[in-house]
Amino acid sequence: MNGDEHNHDHDHDDHAPTREDDDLELTEGEARFLALKSLLIEQGVMTADEIRARMEFNERGSPHQAARMIARAWVDPAYKERMLSDTKAAAAELGIEATEAALVTIENTPKRHNMVVCTLCSCYPRSLLGEPPAFYVSKAYRSRAVREPRKVLREFGVDIPDAVDIAVHDSNADLRYVIMPMRPAGTEGLSEDDLAALITRDSVVGCALPVEPA
Amino acid sequence: MRILDIGKPGHVRTPTYVRHKTGTIERFCGLFENPEDKAYGRWGLPPIPLYRVQFRQDDIWPDYDGAPGDVLEIEIYDHWLAPAGEDS
């Protein structure tokens, strides 16, 4: 196709990239990864497909996993107790394989709102929530969530009254945290699937409240 | 408990904002392979005790702007902890 034939009815800005290309030059870490990967393949230690499959496995989590568990806990008090006392076992009950060393569920109450941050890097319950959102790994969130959580929450649109304490959980070591939000009022008749749809990623991080039912 | 500043360099797991601060043990989390050793290709054995330590936000940040009951919880490995009142 030459320039003369290139006339169609949309503006090229419509498909401008949504983010800047960041792989034009390799970082030191990327170069090291590619060198190690090609050595492992050349030496027959593992295949390219095995490495790809492992990356796919690592990224298979999604917020729906945590939402399913919390919705079950909202309708089944015995399951809720099991989830609070052993989150990994409660995940396994629903067929969810959690690869984290240790998972902890923390329950929001009328007296305490909980939120999670990893000030050191990006520790996150990936098996139950998938990859962390961009805000979670940003230095702004990591430094401010511990310092001024109420202000950060207000920026997320969540205004916690002073009568409710805020507990910030720094996920700095071996535990990974799931926040169990309070079940919204007016959801008594909803099915477990409909309840799960109210539980968003950010509500499980503690930066939002569940969606109010329509 | 008091959080020590043991001057350990590198990829350690006790952020500076809680060093020298005093809090209370919220729970014993179990024994974990030492990630501060594993970060450097060692095995991190034997596993070491890990605790959840709770701080009043007012005790971490002198100018904290929030409710008096606001707290922060963080995981601290045994070698960073000393009885309250001791700082080394």
Residue A57 is predicted with a pLDDT of 85
pLDDT averaged per 10 residues, chain A (length 214): 52 64 82 95 96 88 95 98 97 94 96 97 92 94 97 97 97 95 95 97 97 88
Is A122 considered catalytic here?
yes
Block residue for tokens 């007012």: B58
| B53 Cβ under 8 Å from any chain A Cβ | no
> Tokens in use for B19?
């060093």
**3-state DSSP call for residue B6?**
coil
Is the per-residue pLDDT at B63 higher than 50? yes
Band of residue B30 on the pLDDT scale cut at 50, 70, 90: very high
Is A207 considered catalytic here?
no
How many residue pairs from chains A and B have C-beta atoms closer than 8 A? 74
| Architecture, CATH, for domain A63-205 | Alpha-Beta Complex (3.90)
List, by residue range, all CATH 3.90.330.10 domains of chain A: 63-205
d(CA A61, CA A55): 11
Domains located in chain B, CATH noted: 2-82 (2.30.30.50)
Strands (E) located in chain A = 102-107, 112-117, 165-170, 175-180
Residues A176, A122 contacting (CB under 8 angstroms): no
Please say whether the dihedral angle defined by the alpha carbons of residues B74, B77, B83 and B87, taken in this order, is positive or negative: negative
Residue A2 is predicted with a pLDDT of 47
Provide the mean pLDDT of chain A: 91
CA distance B17 to chain A (A): 9
Residues A149, A166 contacting (CB under 8 angstroms): yes
pLDDT in tens, A153-164: 999 999 999 999
Q: Which amino acid is at B61?
A: W
**3-state DSSP call for residue A23?**
coil
| A159 Cβ under 8 Å from any chain B Cβ | no
Residues in A touching B76 (Cβ below 8 Å):
173
